[in-house]
Amino acid sequence: MPDTPRFSTKEIDRIIQMAWEDRTPFEAITYQFGIRENEVREIMRREMKPSSFKMWRKRVTGRRTKHQRYRGEDVQRFRSANQKD
């Protein structure tokens, strides 16, 4: 991955956790870790078993809650204790 910073195991685990959560938009991952959606996909592809990666891609493809711009105004912001201020 070009220009992608090296992450600790703990940070990679958190990126995967956030990407797997249905209601966490990719923009939240970008905000916290400074990486774009395509870089998240590359991390997921590299770190997960192929079958798990395929299942995740199937789940997030077209999912409105994974993109901030498609979410309704009624979706409230949840802030995990693990997120940066």
Please state, in angstroms and as integers, the Cα–Cα distance from residue 31 to each residue in 35, 37, 51, 55, 59, following that order: 8, 11, 28, 25, 22
The overall pTM is greater than 0.75: no
Q: 3-class SS at 20?
A: helix
Q: How many domains does the chain have?
A: 1
Domain presence at residue 77: no
User: Taking the CB of residue 28, how many other CB atoms lie within 10 A of it?
Assistant: 20
54 lies in which domain range? 9-68
Residues 59 and 9: their CA atoms lie apart, in Å, by: 24
Residues 38 and 35: their CA atoms lie apart, in Å, by: 8
16-63: pLDDT as tens digits = 999 998 888 888 899 999 999 899 999 999 999 999 999 999 888 876
Span 52-77, average pLDDT: 71
- Residue 23 has what pLDDT? 80
Domain presence at residue 74: no
